[in-house]
Amino acid sequence: MNYTINEVASKFNLSAHTLRYYDKEGLLPFVGRNKSGNRMFTDSDLDWVTMICCLKDTGMPIKEIKTYSQWCQMGKETVDERKKMLAVHRLAVEKQIEQLRNHLKIIDNKIAMYDDPDYIQMLELRRT
C-alpha cells in the first residue's frame, strides 16, 4: 500500500514539514515519488519512519540517525557498527528511564504529601 506524506505525518503525529526535513537530511533514502514528484511511502517506509521516530524520541541526534541510515544502506558489511551504535544508545535510554523513575518517585512523594492531613494543616499554619 502507498501513503502520502500527509497520511504518514498524521499517522506518526509529525508535520509534513518534519518528514520533508528528514528526507532532505538523508534519513528517508528509500521513499519513492509518484509521477507528480510527490513522496509516496510504502509499508516498509513506515517501518523505517517508526525507527527514526524511536531513535529521535529517545534522544539520538539527527546526525547519528543519518549515520545509522547510511550504514543501513551499505548492507551487511555495517551490521557490527549498527549493532554497536544501537547498544550504546540503548544504555543511554536505560539511563533516561532510571532518571525518569527517580523523578516519578519525587512526584509520587509530593502527591502523597498532599494527601496527608498533617501536611495540609502545616501549610495552613504557614499561611497565617
Query: pLDDT tens digit string along 67-83?
Result: 999 999 999 999 999 99
pLDDT tens string 4-24: 999 999 999 999 999 999 999
Q: Span 1-74: which CATH code?
A: 1.10.1660.10
For the chain, the domains span 1-74, 79-128
Mean pLDDT over the full length of the chain: 94
Burial 83-92 (b: 16+ CB within 10 A, else e): eebeeebeee
Cross-strand partners of 32: 40
Cut 0.75: pTM above it: yes
